[in-house]
């Protein structure tokens, strides 16, 4: 087949696969937002049937033949072209999917399905010994998968590549180590500061209907388009995307705390703007119609959540609005006290409740643990002791029980080794992108103070969103900021922001 025809057929196939994937996403959204409990068993059958169909279509040797017919042709000679990017990424996924033996995939799916329940019970009963045999099995499976994929250096490279294509453990470890050293130092200064923000300002009754109104107002001001989206309630908030014209967000409301839904909605709307900024009308179903990586995705949500949503300029505009909406809770509260309350830093055991500063330390601890587990340097039985030792070193806290320590996250029971680093990479990318946006948009602060967030949205769309997966994260970062990923922009941002709040 001529390269041009082969490419057209390849794209036709991937669009069909992605359309099946979009059907799966609709079912998953319904599962988390609307489905009555009684629907669970049938829903599992529906989604596993679809997953099987998608997998079969994707590993069809025909895809491999089509790829071979296009690769090395003139069509992909310009490695920065859309065609080259699509072929590169389809090849990458095809190779990964076809390298795993079917029996290994089945064993992995079966084991992790069972392990999830065992983990939930073990965590509830604070009994690591119960979870340990499952961790043994899952680590073994993950190691076998890494071997099947193949890797350079260490097995963790093969696993992290599933979420952050092209990133290497050595590079990530280098940036993380620099961040960790400076963060521990920053945290020490914050802990010894005499400034103690009054968090009770945001921890008092906040009417849920008004929270919803306020969240929608902010999402709209960010440029989230409710003609192409909607906001619903979910226990574990997420963003989902069904292709052009339908990108949905979810949040959860706490009637006694403002932060959960407020910053959760801003976070998810940040993810959604990324999806909405990709030209899906043209590129849906191809890699260029998808996000660059989980790290880049998280950079968008975290930038909106923290660098915009927890900034002074943003609240110069929205605090008076909030005071009018939540009159009972915010009447008479000073701006600086509110700003400090939403930016409180306090080391705590649970990652998902962590503040902006300590969050990254939670991730670095997990990254180090996972690498060592994959290398066999930390045996499953030694996980709690290793965890607690690192936790003491980074946070200065003694872990009293494993439920709040090494058993708190769902990821290991689900076999998601290599996923955690993308959260911290997101924060580091976010700061580097935001520093560049501030350079390119000198009046950005003034715009935010006027409640105008569309200039930033346009900048992100132009520089990041519209490219989809055309460039890998590393290259995207260099194109946008002129430099490789560095710990400096984030640490500059944090030292300046928290130095001002905690007065050091």
Which of 46-54, 132-140, 203-211, 298-306 is the region at the interface with Co ion (rule: CB under 5 A)? 298-306
β partners of residue 251: 233
Give min distance, CB of 275 to Co ion, in A. Answer: 12
Which of 294-302, 383-391, 448-456, 461-469 is the region at the interface with Co ion (rule: CB under 5 A)? 294-302
Task: Give the residue ranges of DSSP H helices in 303-353.
Answer: 312-325, 327-330, 335-342
Nearer to Co ion, 211 or 300 (CB): 300
For Co ion, the binding residue among 157, 247, 250, 301 (CB under 5 A) is: 301
Nearer to Co ion, 251 or 301 (CB): 301
Alpha-carbon gap, residue 329 to 311, rounded angstroms: 20
Give min distance, CB of 308 to Co ion, in A. Answer: 15
Please, which of residues 465-504 interact with Co ion by CB under 5 A? none
Catalytic (active-site) positions: 268
Which of 41-49, 299-307, 429-437, 450-458 is the region at the interface with Co ion (rule: CB under 5 A)? 299-307
β partners of residue 254: 257
Distances (CA, A) of 265 to 24, 344, 349, 428: 23, 19, 24, 21
Q: What is the DSSP string of 21-90?
A: HHHHHHHHHHHHHT--GGGHHHHHHHHHHHHHHHHHHHH-HHHHHHHHHHTTSGGG-STTSHHHHHHHHH
Q: Which single residue brings its beta carbon nearest to Co ion?
A: 301
The CA-CA-CA angle for residues 25, 31, 33, to 5°, reads 100
- Structure token pair of residue 185: 């130092």
Nearer to Co ion, 13 or 301 (CB): 301
Which of 172-180, 193-201, 285-293, 301-309 is the region at the interface with Co ion (rule: CB under 5 A)? 301-309
Nearer to Co ion, 238 or 317 (CB): 238
**Do 161 and 473 meet the contact criterion of CB atoms below 8 Å apart?**
no
Helix 128-149 crosses helix 102-124 at what angle (to 10 degrees)? 160
Give min distance, CB of 294 to Co ion, in A. Answer: 9
Give min distance, CB of 301 to Co ion, in A. Answer: 4
- Closest alpha carbon to 304 in 175, 202, 448: 448
Residues 6+ apart with CB under 8 A from 144: 104
Give min distance, CB of 351 to Co ion, in A. Answer: 13
Unique residue bearing structure tokens 């065609």: 83
Give min distance, CB of 267 to Co ion, in A. Answer: 6
Alpha-carbon gap, residue 217 to 294, rounded angstroms: 27
β partners of residue 240: 248
- Phi, psi for residue 331 in degrees, rounded to 5: -60, 125
- Closest alpha carbon to 484 in 421, 435, 434, 432: 432
Which of 107-115, 204-212, 297-305, 468-476 is the region at the interface with Co ion (rule: CB under 5 A)? 297-305
**Do 60 and 97 meet the contact criterion of CB atoms below 8 Å apart?**
no
Give min distance, CB of 220 to Co ion, in A. Answer: 20
Nearer to Co ion, 300 or 344 (CB): 300
Nearer to Co ion, 289 or 295 (CB): 295
Alpha-carbon gap, residue 97 to 256, rounded angstroms: 46
Give min distance, CB of 427 to Co ion, in A. Answer: 11
Nearer to Co ion, 301 or 306 (CB): 301
Give min distance, CB of 254 to Co ion, in A. Answer: 18
Nearer to Co ion, 301 or 436 (CB): 301
- Closest alpha carbon to 255 in 205, 329, 324: 205
Which of 122-130, 295-303, 329-337, 358-366 is the region at the interface with Co ion (rule: CB under 5 A)? 295-303
- Closest alpha carbon to 242 in 275, 216, 265: 275
Q: Spell out, one character per residue from 306 to 345, where the chain touches Co ion: x when CB under 5 A holds, - when not.
A: ----------------------------------------
Total residues interacting with Co ion, rule: CB under 5 A: 1
Region at 129 (left for phi over 0; alpha for psi -120 to 50; beta for the rest): alpha
Which of 65-73, 258-266, 287-295, 300-308 is the region at the interface with Co ion (rule: CB under 5 A)? 300-308
Q: What is the DSSP string of 458-487?
A: HHHHHHTGGGTTSS-HHHHHHHHHSS---S
Please, which of residues 54-113 interact with Co ion by CB under 5 A? none
Within 13 A of 321's CA, how many CA atoms are on the CB side? 16
| Distance from the first to the final alpha carbon of the chain | 67
Nearer to Co ion, 112 or 301 (CB): 301
Alpha-carbon gap, residue 264 to 496, rounded angstroms: 24
Nearer to Co ion, 301 or 408 (CB): 301
Give min distance, CB of 426 to Co ion, in A. Answer: 7
Residues that bind Co ion (CB under 5 A): 301
């Amino acid at each position: 087949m001529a390269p041009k025809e082969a490419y057209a057929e390849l794209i036709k196939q991937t669009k069909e696969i992605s359309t099946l994937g979009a059907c799966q996403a609709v079912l998953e959204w319904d599962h988390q937002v609307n489905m009555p409990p009684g629907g669970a068993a049938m829903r599992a059958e529906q989604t596993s049937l679809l997953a099987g169909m998608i997998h079969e279509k994707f590993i069809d040797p025909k895809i491999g033949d089509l790829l071979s017919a296009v690769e090395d042709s003139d069509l992909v000679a310009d490695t920065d072209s859309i065609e080259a990017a699509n072929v590169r990424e389809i090849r990458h996924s095809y190779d990964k999917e076809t390298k795993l033996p079917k029996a290994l995939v089945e064993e992995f799916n079966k084991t992790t399905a069972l392990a999830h329940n065992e983990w939930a019970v073990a965590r509830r009963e604070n009994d690591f010994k119960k979870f340990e045999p499952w961790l043994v099995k899952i680590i073994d499976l993950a190691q076998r998968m890494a071997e099947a994929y193949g890797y350079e250096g260490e097995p963790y490279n093969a696993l992290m590549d599933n979420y952050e294509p092209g990133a290497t453990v050595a590079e990530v470890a280098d940036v993380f180590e620099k961040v960790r050293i400076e963060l521990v130092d920053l945290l020490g200064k914050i802990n010894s500061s005499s400034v103690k923000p009054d968090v009770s300002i945001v921890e008092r009754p906040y009417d849920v209907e008004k929270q919803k109104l306020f969240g929608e107002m902010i999402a709209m001001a960010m440029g989230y388009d409710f003609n192409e989206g909607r906001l619903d309630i979910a226990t574990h908030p997420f963003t989902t995307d069904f292709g052009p014209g339908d990108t949905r967000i979810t949040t959860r409301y706490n009637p006694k705390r403002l932060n959960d839904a407020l910053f959760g909605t801003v976070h998810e709307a940040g993810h959604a703007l990324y999806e909405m900024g990709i030209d899906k009308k043209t590129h849906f179903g191809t890699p260029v119609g998808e996000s660059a990586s989980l790290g880049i995705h998280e950079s968008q949500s975290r930038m909106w959540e923290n660098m915009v949503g927890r900034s002074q300029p943003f609240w110069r505009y929205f605090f008076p609005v909030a005071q009018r909406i939540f009159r009972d809770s915010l009447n008479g509260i000073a701006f600086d006290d509110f700003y400090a309350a939403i930016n409180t830093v306090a080391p705590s055991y649970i990652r998902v409740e962590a503040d902006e500063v300590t969050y990254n330390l939670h991730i670095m601890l997990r990254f180090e643990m996972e690498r060592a587990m994959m290398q066999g340097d930390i045996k499953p039985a030694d996980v709690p002791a290793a965890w607690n030792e690192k936790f003491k070193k980074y946070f200065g806290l003694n872990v009293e029980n494993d439920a709040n320590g090494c058993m708190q996250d769902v990821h290991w029971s689900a076999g998601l080794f290599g996923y955690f680093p993308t959260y911290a990479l997101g924060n580091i990318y976010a700061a580097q992108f935001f520093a560049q946006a501030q350079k390119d948009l000198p009046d950005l602060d003034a715009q935010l103070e006027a409640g105008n967030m569309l200039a930033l949205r346009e900048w992100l769309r132009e520089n990041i969103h519209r490219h989809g997966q055309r460039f890998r994260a590393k290259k995207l970062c260099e194109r946008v900021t002129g430099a490789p990923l560095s710990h400096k922009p984030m640490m500059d941002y944090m030292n300046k922001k928290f130095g001002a709040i905690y007065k050091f």
